[in-house]
């Protein structure tokens, strides 16, 4: 099983790895997870997380979304 990143830490991980220019808000990442725009899983405890290996894919999806919204 790959290492998981809690959704609450996603923005800081994307920033740390320099995968995005503008760091998305928690609400943006949460909505993307719930809507299925990014690969995320909700655990038995109700908390969302993403696979560390999916971070580049997630960054690309979030950047496309923010560019379309502008």
Q: What percent of the chain has pLDDT over 90?
A: 81
For the chain, domain boundaries = 4-69
As a whole number, mean pLDDT of residues 44-60 equals: 97
Question: Does the pLDDT of residue 60 top 60, yes or no?
Answer: yes
What is the rounded distance in angstroms from the CA atom of residue 42 to the CA atom of residue 60? 21
Q: Report pTM.
A: 0.83
Q: Over the range 22-43, which residues count as b (16 or more CB within 10 Å of their CB) and which as e? A: eebeeebbbebbeeebbebeee
Q: Do residues 49 and 7 touch, judged by C-beta distance below 8 A? A: yes
Average pLDDT of the chain?
90
Using one digit for the tens of pLDDT, what is the confidence trace for 31-47?
999 999 999 999 999 99
Q: Which tokens is 65 given?
A: 């979304």
């Amino acid at each position: 099983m790959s290492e998981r990143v809690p959704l609450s830490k996603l923005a800081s991980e994307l920033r740390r790895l320099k995968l995005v220019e503008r760091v998305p808000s928690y609400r943006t990442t949460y909505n993307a997870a719930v809507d299925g725009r990014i690969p995320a899983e909700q655990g038995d405890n109700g908390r969302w997380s993403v696979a560390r290996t999916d971070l580049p894919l997630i960054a690309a999806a979030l950047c496309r979304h923010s560019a379309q919204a502008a």
